Amino acid sequence: MTKGTFPVESFKGIETPFYYYDIDLLKKTLSIVKELTHKYGYHQHYAVKANANHKILQLIAAAGFGADCVSGNEVKAAISAGFPCSKIVFAGVGKTDKEINLGIDYNIFCFNVESLPELEVINELAEKKGKKVSVAIRINPNVDAHTHEYITTGLNENKFGFSMSSLDKVFDKIKTLQNIELIGLHFHIGSQITEVETFEPLCERINELQNQCEAKGIQLKNINVGGGLGIDYDDPNANPVPPFEAYFELFHKNLELRKDQMVHFELGRSIVAQCGALISRVTYVKEGDSKKFVILDAGMTDLIRPALYQAYHKVENISSDLPIEKYDVVGPICESSDSFVKDYELNGTKRGDLVALRSAGAYGEIMASQYNCREIPKAYFSDKL
């Protein structure tokens, strides 16, 4: 497999580890999504939780996207990066009163509501402000996303959204709440979904629900299908851009829309993952009895996905063209889970080499922690090194 191209010379003076973002690839990805969005008349809300780096957010906002937020601070980060309040949606099972008030004060587009008590609190807080607030209800469609159990969200047994069976109760409740307007249905079945056909049963479920709503005389203007499109972690060089065409076409073919209905998407990972890499320096190469360990200056505090969900990131030695050898590549943190890959083929590696952990633009930098009193890695951009 080929290696990615990195400006290794320009990295020389930069303290490692750091995140490096390929801005050309981000812009290319955004323009492809934008074109398809126009083609089908869809609406995009970038899922801020995937990467909330200010410059990345600014570029996505400038491309005309809205934002999907899951905390009050994400709403603030989105607004400060230039996302219009009128294109912000706010999801999450545990929105606090403070966060709800913030969303109401900013007149965001819509709250994606996940429980009856949340509906009541939003109504109460809106009433105090003399406002009517738009909500969509998040429905748990009981669709298996065929992904890791920690990132599947659409099955009955997890904490997100309303179950299909509770919907009549929810619709009845909403009728009694004066300061809430129901404007749509919201779904999000999971993340890192690599087979686009997985979204077919979601479309079927949405079609059934629409019939159900219609039978009850409920008309909804907005259908939000969430995010979840996966990326190719195995071969980011062959597939730098996810299969957006097949993905949007699937929804176009399978969703039965009513007149003037708007379809919203909340893509996170598929927008930003491939443009980012974590760049780290080799601190030691340690020879064990039966293995060689490459010990990096980056660890699970900088990129937690492998430790958290056994995720794989392609590792490349970007300083070496020496013959391939096998290594375990690990971090310096005092946890056995602080390991990136095992028995892995890398070009012959020595102390001081630079290593790239690929496809780290999503759920990378934003998940960094200070465990072991470590520093949060800085970010650098291809257009400004």
Catalytic machinery residues: 334
Which residues inside 262-291 make contact with ligand PLP, applying CB under 6 A? Answer: 266-270
267: annotated binding-site residue?
yes
Residues between 362 and 381 that touch ligand PLP (CB under 6 A): none
Find out whether 193 and 154 touch, Cβ atoms under 8 Å.
Answer: no
Q: Exposure string (b/e) for 81-98, b if CB count within 10 Å is 16 or more?
A: bebebebbbbbbeebeee
Residue 4: closest CA among 284, 293, 382, 312: 382
Question: Does 41 show up as a binding residue in the annotation?
Answer: no
Is 335 assigned a ligand-binding role in the annotation? yes
Q: Which of 66, 141, 228, 243 touches ligand PLP (CB under 6 A)?
A: 228
- Give the residue with the Cβ less far from ligand PLP, 145 or 346: 145
Binding mask 32-71 toward ligand PLP (x if CB under 6 A, else -) reads ---------------x-xx-----------------x-x-
284-323 positions binding ligand PLP, by CB under 6 A = none
CA-based nearest residue to 240, from 186, 166, 139, 314: 314
**Binder to ligand PLP among 72, 154, 227, 242 (CB under 6 A)?**
227
Q: Is 266 annotated as a binding-site member?
A: yes
Task: Tell me the site size for ligand PLP, rule CB under 6 A.
Answer: 17
191 binds ligand PLP (CB under 6 A): yes
Which parts of 74-133 interact with ligand PLP (CB under 6 A)?
91
Other Cβ atoms within 10 Å of 265 Cβ, number? 25
Total length of the chain: 385
Q: Which stretch binds ligand PLP (CB under 6 A): 12-20, 125-133, 221-229, 312-320?
A: 221-229
Catalog residues that contact ligand PLP under the rule CB under 6 A.
47, 49-50, 68, 70, 91, 188, 191, 226-229, 266-270
Binding residues for substrate, as ranges, are 269, 305, 309, 335, 363
Binding residues, as ranges, are 228, 266-269, 305, 309, 335, 363
